[in-house]
Amino acid sequence: MDIVSVKTEPYSDQTFGTSGLRKKTAVFRQKHYLENIVQSVFDSLNGFEGKTLVIGGDGRFFNDEAVQTLIRLAIANQFGRIIVGQNGLLSTPATSHIITKYNAFGGFILSASHNPGGRDGDFGIKFDTASGAPAPVALTTLFSERAKVIDRFWTIDLPDFDLSLLGERAVGHSIVQVVDPVADYAAYMRDIFDFPAIKKMLAGGFKMIFDAMNAATGPYARHIFEEALGAPAGSVIHGTPQPDFGGLHPDPNLIYAKHLADMMYADDAPDFAAASDGDGDRYMILGKNFFVNPSDSLAVLTEHLHAIPFYRGKINGVARSFATSPAVDAVAAAHKIPVYETPVGWKFFGSLLDAGKITLCGEESFGAGSSHLREKDGLWAVLAWLNIMAATQKTPEELTRELWRKYGRVYALAHNYESLNAEAANKLMMDLNAELDTLPGRQIGGLTIRQAFNFSYADPASGETAADQGICLVFDGQKRAVIRLSGTGSVGATLRFYFNGLSGKRLNDTPQAFLSDIVAAVGTLTRIAEQTGRDAPTTIT
Ligand code: VG1
Ligand code: CO
């Protein structure tokens, strides 16, 4: 086996965003595009020779080819062991778990997460460090900087590896080990949750449905829900990962998983439904005729986490992104644990978890996770709900309404304007930033702005800082808006407007009705329609 050094030219657009490098698949398929970024990651890191690297992906189009490329570069760069999921598949949380379980140096996840896949869809790559957490900003900045000047990468001259067979194969000084993607993760879930209690609930006629959206979690969900917990065959739908996700947009929300919501709002709805995204780190929870908003879900999980054996007596604190509604704050106060408010993106939770400051964390974008691993974890969140339901004998609606009665209801909505002209989106943010100082005290459509600031963060554990994360507008009457540019899109710019408001009394409004005044006020203030040429958001979640 020969190690070869290949000359290459840098690309100017290899910048890591909220969650890795994400582009159109066609961009990733350009000559040496993937090699450049992978070698840039290696060039930015030290001391991995002889160590273990984990590689997996969510099975989207180009996954097969990309995994082979990564294995070749890892061998040429002197990794001692390369652990790959069978057929190149690993969900994001399973990758994170395998990294820590096998003391790996780190791992790559090939995924554009909840973005559509296929030849004309999106592709992406993320790097997790030895703790199993997404690489922090300090590292991703190095990766992007290196990619701007890279002029060679190392690879080997060998044909494709057969990734269908489990087991090890020696290649030069390295070992390529193909592992069952599901086994370790499923065993870990058994350690965390009260499987007998969930099993008993399912055996007692409780009906659930899990929609894997033809993406990464299918094999995990079949194993956990149908085989280990005894849910009837067919409880997992869209359970086979497909390169184009069978035409589904693997983003578990009421828009892209409308088929699931329709089932749950029908007369013969099962008791519980859940879904996950492309790489298995997002989740959605539905009860009969009931949708659980992810910010409320984090609050319910915090309220009842002690019902789950793994966490009993060990709940230190909770974190949420600043775009996530503060529903969890009142729960945390009642439980006498701190709440940390972070920028958007999972990479900010890692150091808080490592420092033992928090046990639980979540985002409004259908993400939740805990101290059990350092990525967000969709199936974990679903199992947490099942465990809590089994322990309390309550439905998702009962658990959520109980929370609202006790702490008040925080209505939450996100308006997403996708694929905007990047200049127009940047201008909107710049105009607003320029105006910030003049906003407190200003009245718009009957609402008064109390505070206006650009969110910046100093990590209480690592000291790392992050400025310019988005604009926060706090209105009188416990209403709040956050406006920020997305860092996961692949075309133009995406603006996200998050709205939330607390009511102790009005528990039965729709978020649209309760928040209509602040939506209108922010629309007027930002002149969104005029500035972007759009009269409505692309999606409302
Ligand atoms: C979005 C969400 C954010 C999430 C990120 C990755 O980022 O808002 O909460 O962490 O996606 O999720 P942005 O920058 O587009 O708003 V996923 O499932 O990629 O791993
Ligand atoms: Co994801």
The string of pLDDT tens digits covering residues 285-297 is 999 999 999 999 9
Q: Supply the residue whose CA is at minimum distance from atom 6 of ligand 1.
A: 19
Domain range annotation of the chain: 3-181, 185-407, 409-540
Look-up of token digits 């005894």: 230
Q: Name residue 503's amino acid.
A: S
Sheet holding 208-211, edge to edge: 236-237, 208-211, 272-276, 283-287, 290-292
pLDDT band, residue 490 (cuts 50/70/90): confident
pLDDT band, residue 91 (cuts 50/70/90): very high
CB atoms within 10 A of CB 525: 21
Ligand 1 centroid vs 270 CA: distance in angstroms? Answer: 29
- Which residues are part of the catalytic machinery? 113
Q: What is the pLDDT of residue 305?
A: 97
Ligand 2 centroid vs 262 CA: distance in angstroms? Answer: 23
Ligand nearest the Cα atom of residue 215: 2
Ligand 1 centroid vs 79 CA: distance in angstroms? Answer: 30
Which atom of ligand 1 sits closest to the CA of residue 488? 15
Q: What is the pLDDT of residue 489?
A: 80
Q: Which of 9, 18, 23 is nearest to 115 (CA)?
A: 23
Q: Tell whether ligand 1 has an atom less than 6 A from the beta carbon of residue 23.
A: no
Q: What is the pLDDT of residue 377?
A: 98
Look-up of token digits 């009188």: 476
Q: Name residue 52's amino acid.
A: T
Greater pLDDT, 1 or 263: 263
Superfamily of segment(s) 409-540: Alpha-D-phosphohexomutase, C-terminal domain (3.30.310.50)
* 16, 19, 469: residue to mutate for ligand 1 pocket, most atoms within 8 A of CB: 19
Above pLDDT 90, what percent of the chain?
97
* 110, 297, 344, 483: residue to mutate for ligand 1 pocket, most atoms within 8 A of CB: 344
Contacts of residue 409, Cβ cutoff 8 Å, sequence gap at least 6: 327, 502, 503, 504, 506, 507
What is the rounded distance in angstroms from the CA atom of residue 411 to the CA atom of residue 130? 38
Which atom of ligand 1 sits closest to the CA of residue 22? 19
Ligand 2 centroid vs 8 CA: distance in angstroms? Answer: 31
What is the rounded distance in angstroms from the CA atom of residue 447 to the CA atom of residue 314? 42
Which atom of ligand 1 sits closest to the CA of residue 281? 18
What is the rounded distance in angstroms from the CA atom of residue 83 to the CA atom of residue 449? 53
Q: What is the pLDDT of residue 132?
A: 97
Ligand 1 centroid vs 444 CA: distance in angstroms? Answer: 30
Q: Matching CATH topology for 3-181 and 185-407? A: yes
CB atoms within 10 A of CB 80: 16
What are the distances in angstroms from CA 358 to CA 68, 113, 340, 353, 372? 37, 25, 8, 5, 11
Structure token pair of residue 351: 């150091």
Q: Tell whether ligand 1 has an atom less than 6 A from the beta carbon of residue 320.
A: no
Q: Which of 488, 485, 493 is nearest to 420 (CA)?
A: 493
Helix (H) or strand (E) holding 179: strand 174-179
CATH annotation of 3-181? 3.40.120.10
Q: Tell whether ligand 1 has an atom less than 6 A from the beta carbon of residue 97.
A: no
What is the C-alpha R_g of the chain? 23
Ligand 2 centroid vs 26 CA: distance in angstroms? Answer: 20
What is the rounded distance in angstroms from the CA atom of residue 241 to the CA atom of residue 212? 8
What is the rounded distance in angstroms from the CA atom of residue 164 to the CA atom of residue 180? 10
Q: What is the pLDDT of residue 425?
A: 96
Sheet holding 339-342, edge to edge: 339-342, 318-321, 360-363, 367-370
Q: Which of 359, 391, 390, 355 is nearest to 372 (CA)?
A: 359
Greater pLDDT, 139 or 504: 139
Which atom of ligand 1 sits closest to the CA of residue 113? 19
Sheet holding 409-420, edge to edge: 443-444, 447-454, 471-475, 479-485, 493-503, 409-420, 539-540
Q: What is the pLDDT of residue 110?
A: 98
The rounded mean pLDDT for the chain is: 96
Which atom of ligand 1 sits closest to the CA of residue 92? 20
What is the rounded distance in angstroms from the CA atom of residue 272 to the CA atom of residue 270? 6
Q: What is the pLDDT of residue 1?
A: 79
Q: Tell whether ligand 1 has an atom less than 6 A from the beta carbon of residue 365.
A: yes
Q: Tell whether ligand 1 has an atom less than 6 A from the beta carbon of residue 296.
A: no
Q: Tell whether ligand 1 has an atom less than 6 A from the beta carbon of residue 486.
A: yes
Which atom of ligand 1 sits closest to the CA of residue 487? 14
Q: Supply the residue whose CA is at minimum distance from atom 3 of ligand 1.
A: 345
Q: What is the pLDDT of residues 317-362, one digit of tens each?
A: 999 999 999 999 999 999 999 999 999 999 999 999 999 999 999 9
Q: Tell whether ligand 1 has an atom less than 6 A from the beta carbon of residue 363.
A: yes
Q: What is the pLDDT of residues 406-446, one digit of tens each?
A: 999 999 999 999 999 999 999 999 999 999 999 999 999 89
Q: What is the pLDDT of residue 120?
A: 94
CATH 3.40.50.300 fits domain 185-407:
no
Q: Supply the residue whose CA is at minimum distance from atom 13 of ligand 1.
A: 486
Q: What is the pLDDT of residue 115?
A: 93
Ligand 2 centroid vs 32 CA: distance in angstroms? Answer: 25
pLDDT band, residue 488 (cuts 50/70/90): confident
